């Protein structure tokens, strides 16, 4: 069974939201709703009306998810459950999606790791970087060099390292590079840091090409893409295994980030971002915190790089070019700064916008076909500008605002809604709000709203 | 000459003025008193066009100015010497004065005005080519007032010109302002923390509290007023 | 272990050295001009304009079409400068003004978006068919001897044009009322409004001038690198280096920085041992030098660490 990613996303969102909401009526009402939707779904399926079928399916999923959980799962666990639903969806993707989508999703998982790391540095700590592509390359080459069986590294004695050890090695090497670069970064303010990190990203490919003894120069290095572990070989193909590997690592890295950000170090990151003077007055060692942010951020990029090597099977100086490096920053600004959800949205945008954007816009009759195919970047660039203009806190921030405020006002503003339904809708809104406020993705709004204005 | 009628103004969601009415007669000196955050500077900002009022009207010489740009208002003859001086620190004293005359096109007049102001503020002549940021606080305040006069205003809005100055320097500035008012007929609307000097300088005063006028009267009367005495004069 | 082949020493071959320095000054003047555009925008609107190079490209392509249509080179250059002026002003009005009060990071992302947008549109309109395209120069490519060195007339033309533009801008900023107003706006926009300066117009003018200078740079670079949609990227990077080296808010700094970067780049390419460094590493080396300079002068050689009244 293969489905379109839009259905995939629809079901994902429906199930997660269904799990999060308060009971949408009594058990009987929900059961009736589910039955009606199921009948509608089946009828449409038989009639073959395409899009409407999917719509019924998505609504059905939301109601069923609510029916199954609302009465039995205590409120405070429902967020965790919603996240678990999302995780299950992504773990099940190999069996739900086409192969090329799966490969795209693998890439998304890798970029999520980079974006989370960059968000720690830029969104939470306020240090801008246009150069994370360089850290990704450092991690990727560390992995590729260690896995190369004609390894030029004397101490490895020609034996390739197992792939998972190279991921750790990549994390360490990239982290050390980030640590080292954290020191000069201390002295540079906003625009100067932006340009200095851009310089780093530009230099890295030239350096890799030049010292070809180790890096294979412009041809790059080839590695054997790791096969599924013994025992799983029968159920998983290599691409599926690699996808699961990337998603698994991404999830672990997000959990670690979540833990760091809600702990004392995370609070220090934000304090330093909002005011270095005030943070220092509170007894925070500003320099140490900023270097820590750089180190952690680079480490994340290194892990992502190592995964990228496994995924591609080849690493060249152009595998992560300067445009990609710049796009990491664009992605987290679009997705939403200082938000883990924002990092995920940004990573999806990074992959899906260029591949699907033209197709979607091509449907609009105004656009000449020629334009959509020949100028995909124009659409991407225009979208980036529009998002910044219209959604100052990124997509994640708008999502938050959307469910946090106007829904109730819209309902209040519509005349002729029976009082009972009105209060029920109000309740739904409260639930969504509550679900959001408590969400692990929502550190920012609990932090302080005024902090957003003072962003880097 | 200046008529402010029922203006309201806000900074984003925060409303700072709730209907303020003030009149300044031609050639007069009027002062606004009030605690910190009362809205005194906001009133001046509305008059000089930095902030659009959300309601009410401002008239200058019988013409409505509350929808005009700051640029147009300067050209009409209103000059605003803002709180905290707001000099161009990295530019020279001379350049600051030239910027004061930005809306004027008579270079001979500008030259003679600079000469005249150097009479009032001799220090500015000495420091002509020095960056404004390198002047002392009192010198900077003199420069700010001189810059405000460079546009040849008929109405001068002054926001706390004596803030942070030694009493002697502050007395100097008030002396010059009086001279400007008497000899050149420039009307003055003064915002001041130091109520004693403000009331002895101005003919008429308004007391602003949380965005509203609470008392208005001639200066002599205000000085006698029980509440004003207790709150602003401190005896 | 590693054998180091020593590069030629400058004193052994003064002719080569002179050539490298002079051609470095010529390319440096290009970097200086583009850096000047970056500085003009940074000073007036506090934005690091990552689209500066693409704006120049977006002017150069239509000018190439004009040359094909038979317009004489000098006419094309002046039309191009005017077009750059209009483009810069238009972009400020339409795209930058709405994000003026947003956090700086958002504005940076907007200029990055503009970069991608312009590049893609240009690819769509002009880059069908054969690439790169040849762009003609009014200065020709003849060789002339300057002292010990031999350089092209185009290089000299660039140098002269750059110096002329710098002179014009210097006069504009220091001896005209408009320049006074622009400088005042850059320092303190709030107070400038009180002086009766139309601040919005000054900001737009800053972008327009940067666009005009950028357009000229595009038309001076294209004859050397040939014309394709990303032809300004490398120049932009060196221009950033130059602007940062001199200090992002200092026009004289941009010029000094430009010449410095141009010469340093050439010397790095020629006089470093080619087995471990050499020409391929001149960009990283130049950037490394830049970062080292920044460590000692965090706001560049002539820049100010900005302190702003709150
Ligand atoms: N730029 C601004 N943004 C938001 N609120 C502002 C701004 N400027 C002033 N306010 C608010 O408007 C109100 C009036 O401020 P205003 O500056 O007019 O007071 P003031 O009477 O001049 O006080 P002070 O004597 O301290 O100068 C205050 O509550 C202040 O917090
Ligand atoms: Mg005030």
What are the pLDDT digits (tens) for C163-193? 898 899 889 988 999 999 999 998 888 899 9
End-to-end CA distance of chain C: 59
Q: Which atom of ligand 1 is nearest to the CA of B193?
A: 25
More confident residue, C50 or C310: C50
Has domain B2-88+155-233 been given CATH number 1.20.1090.10? no
Cβ contacts below 8 Å, chain A against chain C, sum to 142
Report residue C102's pLDDT band, with 50, 70 and 90 as the boundaries: confident
Mean pLDDT on C86-106: 87
Q: For chain C, list the domains and their CATH numbers.
A: 2-296 (1.10.3470)
The pairing of beta strand B155-159 with beta strand B78-81: parallel
Q: Output the six-digit token pair for A63.
A: 């109601």
* Integer CA distances (angstroms), A37 to A41, A43, A45, A176, in order: 6, 10, 12, 55
Q: Give me the pLDDT at residue C135, please.
A: 82
Asked if the Cβ–Cβ distance from B100 to C190 is below 8 Å, we say no
**Cα–Cα distance for residue pair A108/B121, rounded to 1 Å:** 68
- A29: domain range? 5-92
Query: Closest Cα of chain B to C174: distance in Å?
Result: 10
**Cα–Cα distance for residue pair C81/C217, rounded to 1 Å:** 9
Asked if the Cβ–Cβ distance from C109 to A330 is below 8 Å, we say yes
Asked if the Cβ–Cβ distance from A192 to C299 is below 8 Å, we say yes
Contact between residue B56 and residue B5 where contact means Cβ atoms under 8 Å apart: yes
Which candidate in A218, A329, A378, A386 is best for mutational testing of the C interface (most C CBs within 10 A)?
A378
**Cα–Cα distance for residue pair A118/A168, rounded to 1 Å:** 19
Q: Give me the pLDDT at residue A152, please.
A: 56
Report residue A446's pLDDT band, with 50, 70 and 90 as the boundaries: very low
Contact between residue B98 and residue B175 where contact means Cβ atoms under 8 Å apart: no
- CATH number for the domain spanning A300: value is 1.10.3470
pTM of the model: 0.82
Report residue A188's pLDDT band, with 50, 70 and 90 as the boundaries: confident
Clarify whether residues A243 and A296 are in a common domain: yes
CA neighbours within 13 Å on the CB side: how many for C161?
29
Clarify whether residues A219 and A174 are in a common domain: yes
Is it true that the peptide bond before C132 is cis, omega within 30 degrees of 0? Answer: yes
Clarify whether residues A88 and A205 are in a common domain: no
Among the listed ranges A74-88, A151-165, B182-196, C178-192, which one has the minimum average pLDDT value? A151-165
Clarify whether residues A312 and A341 are in a common domain: yes
Mean pLDDT on A158-183: 89
Output the CA torsion A152→A158→A163→A167 (10° steps): -40
Our count of domains for chain A comes to 2
* Integer CA distances (angstroms), A453 to A117, A329, B231, C111, C296, in order: 22, 18, 37, 20, 31
Mean pLDDT on A372-393: 78
Clarify whether residues A87 and A180 are in a common domain: no
Q: Whose CA is nearest to atom 18 of ligand 1?
A: B39
Clarify whether residues A287 and A145 are in a common domain: yes
Among the listed ranges A286-295, A406-415, B49-58, B146-155, which one has the minimum average pLDDT value? A406-415
Residue where a domain stops, chosen among A67, A92, A117: A92
**Cα–Cα distance for residue pair C80/C57, rounded to 1 Å:** 11
Chain B, window 91-120: residues with a beta carbon less than 8 angstroms from a chain C beta carbon: 91, 95, 98-100, 102-103
**Cα–Cα distance for residue pair B8/B53, rounded to 1 Å:** 6
Q: C177 CB near a chain B CB, below 8 Å?
A: yes
- Taking the CA of B32 as reference, the closest ligand is 1
Among the listed ranges B60-64, C232-236, C255-259, which one has the minimum average pLDDT value? C232-236
Clarify whether residues A330 and A282 are in a common domain: yes
**Cα–Cα distance for residue pair B42/B35, rounded to 1 Å:** 13
- Ligand 2 centroid to Cα of residue A77, in Å, is 51
Residues pairing with B131 in the sheet = B92
Q: Which atom of ligand 1 is nearest to the CA of B191?
A: 22
3-state SS class at C101: coil
3-state SS class at A72: coil
**Cα–Cα distance for residue pair C171/B5, rounded to 1 Å:** 47
DSSP E strands in B86-149: the ranges are none
Residue A249 lies in a domain: yes
Residues 6+ apart with CB under 8 A from C253: C39, C243, C245, C246, C247, C300, C301, C302, C303
- Ligand 1 centroid to Cα of residue A141, in Å, is 57
Q: Check pLDDT > 80 for residue A328.
A: yes
- Ligand 2 centroid to Cα of residue A91, in Å, is 60
Q: Give me the pLDDT at residue A118, please.
A: 95
Report percent pLDDT > 90 for chain C: 31
Domain-wise residue ranges, chain B = 2-88+155-233
Neighbours of A230 (CB within 10 A): 7
Quick one: closest CA in B to C197, which residue? B71
Mean pLDDT on C39-57: 89
Q: Which atom of ligand 1 is nearest to the CA of B211?
A: 14
What would the pLDDT profile of B60-96 be if each residue is shown by its tens digit?
999 999 989 999 999 999 999 999 889 999 899 999 9
Clarify whether residues A189 and A114 are in a common domain: yes
Q: Output the six-digit token pair for A152.
A: 């030029």
Clarify whether residues A154 and A78 are in a common domain: no
Residue A336 lies in a domain: yes
More confident residue, A158 or B127: B127
- Taking the CA of B35 as reference, the closest ligand is 1
Q: Check pLDDT > 50 for residue A343.
A: yes
Q: Give me the pLDDT at residue C304, please.
A: 73
Residue A253 lies in a domain: yes
More confident residue, C230 or A136: A136
CA neighbours within 13 Å on the CB side: how many for C212?
19
**Cα–Cα distance for residue pair B63/B65, rounded to 1 Å:** 6
More confident residue, A378 or A155: A378
Report percent pLDDT > 90 for chain B: 69
Q: Output the six-digit token pair for C166.
A: 């710098």
Q: Give me the pLDDT at residue C138, please.
A: 78
Average pLDDT, chain A: 81
3-state SS class at C151: strand
Q: Give me the pLDDT at residue A15, please.
A: 86
Quick one: closest CA in B to C184, which residue? B88
3-state SS class at B79: strand
Clarify whether residues A163 and A272 are in a common domain: yes
Clarify whether residues A84 and A153 are in a common domain: no
Q: Give me the pLDDT at residue B203, please.
A: 94
Q: Give me the pLDDT at residue A450, please.
A: 35
Asked if the Cβ–Cβ distance from B50 to C190 is below 8 Å, we say yes
Average pLDDT, chain C: 84
Mean pLDDT on A390-401: 74
Asked if the Cβ–Cβ distance from C304 to B69 is below 8 Å, we say no
Q: Give me the pLDDT at residue B91, please.
A: 92
What region does C52 belong to: left with phi over 0, alpha with psi -120 to 50, or beta? alpha
**Cα–Cα distance for residue pair B42/B58, rounded to 1 Å:** 13
Nearest to A3 by CA among A47, A40, A42, A53: A53
Mean pLDDT on C126-138: 77
3-state SS class at C4: coil
3-state SS class at A422: helix
Q: C156 CB near a chain A CB, below 8 Å?
A: no
CA neighbours within 13 Å on the CB side: how many for B99?
34
Report residue A78's pLDDT band, with 50, 70 and 90 as the boundaries: confident
Q: What is the CA radius of gyration of chain C?
A: 20
Residues 6+ apart with CB under 8 A from A415: none
Residue A382 lies in a domain: yes
Chain B, window 174-203: residues with a beta carbon less than 8 angstroms from a chain C beta carbon: none
Q: Give me the pLDDT at residue C309, please.
A: 30
Query: Closest Cα of chain C to A274: distance in Å?
Result: 13
């Amino acid at each position: 069974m293969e489905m379109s990613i839009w259905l995939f996303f629809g079901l994902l969102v429906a199930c997660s939201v269904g799990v999060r909401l308060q009971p949408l009526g009594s058990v009987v009402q929900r059961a009736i709703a589910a039955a009606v939707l199921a009948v509608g779904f089946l009828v449409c399926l038989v009639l073959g009306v395409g899009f409407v079928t999917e719509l019924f399916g998505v609504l059905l999923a939301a109601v069923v998810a609510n029916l199954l959980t609302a009465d039995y799962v205590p409120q405070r666990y429902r967020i965790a459950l919603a996240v678990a639903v999302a995780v299950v969806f992504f773990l099940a993707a190999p069996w739900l999606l086409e192969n090329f989508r799966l490969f795209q999703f693998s890439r998304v998982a890798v970029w999520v790791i980079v974006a989370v790391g960059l968000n720690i540095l830029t969104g939470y700590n306020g240090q801008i970087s246009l150069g994370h592509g360089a850290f990704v390359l450092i991690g990727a080459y560390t992995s590729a060099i260690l896995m190369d069986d004609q390894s030029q590294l004397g101490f490895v004695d020609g034996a390739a390292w197992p792939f998972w050890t190279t991921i750790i090695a990549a994390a360490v090497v990239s982290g050390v590079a980030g640590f080292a670069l954290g020191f000069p970064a201390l002295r540079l303010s906003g625009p100067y840091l932006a340009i200095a990190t851009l310089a780093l990203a530009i230099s890295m490919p030239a350096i890799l090409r030049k010292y070809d003894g180790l890096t294979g120069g412009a041809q790059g290095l080839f590695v054997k893409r790791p096969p599924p572990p013994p025992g799983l070989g029968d159920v998983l193909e290599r691409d599926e295994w690699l996808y699961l590997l990337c998603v698994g690592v991404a999830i672990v890295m997000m959990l670690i980030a979540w833990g760091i950000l809600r702990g004392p170090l995370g609070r220090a990151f934000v304090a330093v971002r909002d005011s270095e003077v005030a943070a220092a007055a509170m007894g925070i060692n500003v320099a140490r915190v900023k270097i820590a942010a750089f180190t952690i951020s680079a480490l994340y990029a290194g892990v992502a790089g190592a995964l990228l090597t496994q995924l591609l099977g080849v690493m060249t100086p152009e595998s992560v070019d300067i445009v990609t490096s710049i796009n990491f920053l664009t992605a987290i600004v679009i997705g939403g700064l200082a938000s883990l959800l924002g990092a995920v949205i940004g990573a999806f945008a990074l992959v899906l916008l260029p591949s699907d954007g033209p197709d979607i816009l091509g449907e609009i009759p105004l656009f000449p076909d020629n334009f959509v195919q020949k100028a995909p970047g124009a659409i991407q660039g225009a979208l980036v500008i529009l998002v910044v203009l219209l959604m100052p806190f990124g997509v994640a921030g708008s999502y938050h605002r959307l469910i946090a405020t106007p829904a109730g006002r819209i309902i209040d503003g519509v005349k002729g809604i029976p009082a009972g339904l009105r209060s029920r809708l109000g309740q739904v809104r409260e639930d969504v709000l509550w679900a959001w406020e408590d969400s692990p993705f929502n550190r920012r709004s609990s932090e302080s709203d005024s902090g957003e204005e003072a962003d880097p | 000459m200046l008529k402010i009628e029922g203006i309201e103004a806000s900074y984003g969601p925060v409303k700072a003025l709730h209907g303020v009415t003030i009149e300044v007669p031609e050639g007069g000196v009027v002062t606004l008193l009030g605690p910190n955050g009362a809205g005194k500077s906001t009133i001046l900002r509305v008059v000089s066009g930095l902030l659009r009022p959300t309601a009410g009207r401002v008239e200058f010489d019988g013409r409505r100015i509350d929808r005009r740009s700051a640029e147009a208002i300067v050209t009409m003859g209103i000059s605003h010497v803002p709180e905290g001086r707001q000099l161009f620190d990295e530019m020279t004293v001379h350049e600051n004065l030239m910027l004061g005359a930005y809306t004027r096109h008579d270079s001979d007049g500008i030259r003679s005005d600079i000469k005249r102001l150097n009479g009032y503020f001799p220090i500015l002549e000495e420091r002509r080519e020095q960056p404004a940021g390198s002047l002392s606080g009192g010198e900077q305040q003199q420069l700010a007032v001189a810059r405000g006069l460079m546009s040849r205003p008929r109405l001068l809005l002054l926001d706390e010109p004596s803030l942070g100055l030694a009493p002697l320097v502050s007395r100097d500035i008030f002396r010059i302002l009086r001279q400007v008012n008497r000899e050149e007929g420039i009307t003055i609307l003064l915002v001041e923390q130091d109520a004693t000097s403000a009331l002895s300088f101005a003919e008429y005063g308004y007391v602003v509290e949380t965005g509203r006028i609470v008392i208005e009267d001639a200066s002599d009367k205000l000085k006698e007023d029980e509440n004003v005495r207790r709150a602003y004069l401190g005896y | 272990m590693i054998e180091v082949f020593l590069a030629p020493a400058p004193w052994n071959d003064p002719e080569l050295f002179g050539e490298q320095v002079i051609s470095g000054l010529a390319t440096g003047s290009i970097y200086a001009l583009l850096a000047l555009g970056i500085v003009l925008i940074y000073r007036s609107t506090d934005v690091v304009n990552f689209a500066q190079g693409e704006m120049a490209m977006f002017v150069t392509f239509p000018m190439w079409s004009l040359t094909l249509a038979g317009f004489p080179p000098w006419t094309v250059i002046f039309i191009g400068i005017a077009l750059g002026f209009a483009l810069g002003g238009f972009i400020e009005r339409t795209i930058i003004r709405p994000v003026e009060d947003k956090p700086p990071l958002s504005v940076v992302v907007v200029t990055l978006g503009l970069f991608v947008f312009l590049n893609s549109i240009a690819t769509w309109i002009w880059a069908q068919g054969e690439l790169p395209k040849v762009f003609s120069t009014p200065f020709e490519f003849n060789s002339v001897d300057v002292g010990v060195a031999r350089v092209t007339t185009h290089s000299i033309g660039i140098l002269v044009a750059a110096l002329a533009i710098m002179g014009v801008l210097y006069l504009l900023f220091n001896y005209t009322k408009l320049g006074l107003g622009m400088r005042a706006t850059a320092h303190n926009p709030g107070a400038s409004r009180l002086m009766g300066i139309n601040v919005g117009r000054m900001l737009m003018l800053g972008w327009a001038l940067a666009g005009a200078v950028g357009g000229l740079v595009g038309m001076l670079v294209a004859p050397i690198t040939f014309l394709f949609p990303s032809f300004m990227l490398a120049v932009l990077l060196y221009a950033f280096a130059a602007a940062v080296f001199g200090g992002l808010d200092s026009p004289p700094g941009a010029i000094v920085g430009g010449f410095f970067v141009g010469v340093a780049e050439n010397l790095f390419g020629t006089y470093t041992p080619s087995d471990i460094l050499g020409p391929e590493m001149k960009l990283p080396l130049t950037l490394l030098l830049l970062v080292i300079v920044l460590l000692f002068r965090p706001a560049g050689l002539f820049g100010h660490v900005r302190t702003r009244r709150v």
